[in-house]
Amino acid sequence: MSILKIKNLKKEYKGKTAVDTISFSLEEGKCTALLGPNGAGKTTTLNMIAGLITPTSGKVFSPNYPNQKDLRGMIGFLPQYPAFYDWMSGEEYLSFVGRLTNIESNRLNQRIDELIEVVGLMEGRKRRIGQYSGGMKQRLGIAQALIHKPQILILDEPVSALDPFGRREIIDLIKLMKTETTILFSTHILNDAEEVCDQVLLLNNGELIEDGNIVDVRAKHSSQMIRLTFSTNPKLLLPRFQKYSWVEKIEQNEKVIVLYVKDLQVGRQQLLKMASEENWPLDSFDLCQLSLEEIFRKVVKE
């Protein structure tokens, strides 16, 4: 069931279109990734959904909340560059944010305790934010976005500025949060989306070029590939592969050859037969599927 609908959303700045009439829905209880290169319009889209900027045209609405003003209460938002007060402790910051949302004091204290434990800041709750690592700040940012128990959590590039350890912490936290709330997060790191998301939205130059379940998107753009890794340079084999009708495309990178084939089973059988009969210096033989990143590059080029 759709918890939020975005219809014909458009944003122009001084005659230049940043987001061009996009429409999609967020499904309740699902994690959706908004993907795209830098400058694709991801942040502008999220800011419009969160109510921080006004669309040039189009609308954001929920079947559950006919009144547009009620939408802000159902959304928790972490911007790409959150503003923290370094002199505050993590606990004080959450208390400050909670009071802004008019949560009663006794409920607020309980909620802060819950969130600090969930995001893993128990040891740092009384430390000043200025002493936090990048990963700790992002975890605190997620906690503040959840302080009022929103139905939808929106995260703008939550891992882009983090080292691999901080990034892993946030991805694991998103996995945990997706069991409790609907999530929309933007990223240009497609491996992260592949790991945690159910739905994907591909944005390029302000246009929505793909929208769907991650399994369906993969199936739609699937290519049948066989990757051959050799112990020596296999360039002498390339002319042979080119003559087969079941081979559509060939790519070579040093000792690796990737064959895009029309029929995976036919290709598999013939290649294994040749490799065995001719004793190819073959290290590995893999049947492959396009990654989300490869699909994105393919769709953008089209």
- Can you give the pLDDT at residue 69? 67
- How far is residue 128 CA from its own chain's centroid? 30
Q: Are 219 and 273 in contact (CB under 8 A)?
A: no
Sequence-distant contacts of 297-302: CB under 8 A, at least 24 apart: 298/221, 299/202, 299/204, 299/209, 299/210, 299/221, 300/37, 300/202, 300/204, 300/209
Lowest mean pLDDT among 148-157, 198-207, 222-231, 272-281: 222-231
CB atoms within 10 A of CB 184: 27
Sequence-ordered list of residues with C-beta below 8 angstroms from that of 1, at least 6 positions apart, any chain: 27, 28
Burial class (CB in 10 A: 0-12, 13-18, 19+), 50: buried
Average pLDDT over residues 155-163: 87
Q: Are 43 and 156 in contact (CB under 8 A)?
A: yes
The pLDDT tens digits for 82-101 are 999 999 999 999 999 999 98
Q: Are 33 and 193 in contact (CB under 8 A)?
A: yes
pLDDT band at 6 (very low <50, low <70, confident <90, very high): very high
Report pTM: 0.80
Sequence-ordered list of residues with C-beta below 8 angstroms from that of 44, at least 6 positions apart, any chain: 11, 18, 19, 53
For residue 168, the cross-strand partners are none
Q: What average pLDDT does the structure give for the chain?
A: 89
DSSP 40: S
The pLDDT tens digits for 8-35 are 999 999 889 999 999 999 999 999 999 9
Task: Say whether pLDDT at 47 is over 90.
Answer: yes
Tell me the backbone φ, ψ of residue 198, rounded to 5 degrees. Answer: -95, -35
Q: Are 221 and 298 in contact (CB under 8 A)?
A: yes
Question: For residue 199, which amino acid is it?
Answer: Q
- Can you give the pLDDT at residue 88? 96
Q: Among 96, 180, 167, 178, which Cα is nearest to 138's?
A: 167
- Can you give the pLDDT at residue 68? 67
- Can you give the pLDDT at residue 302? 64
Q: Cα(241)–Cα(24) distance, rounded to whole angstroms?
A: 43
- Can you give the pLDDT at residue 243? 84
Residue 260 C-beta-side C-alpha neighbours within 13 Å: 9
The pLDDT tens digits for 216-275 are 887 777 677 888 899 888 888 888 888 888 888 888 888 888 888 888 788 888 889 888
Q: Cα(8)–Cα(49) distance, rounded to whole angstroms?
A: 12
Task: Say whether pLDDT at 299 is over 80.
Answer: no
Task: Say whether pLDDT at 185 is over 80.
Answer: yes
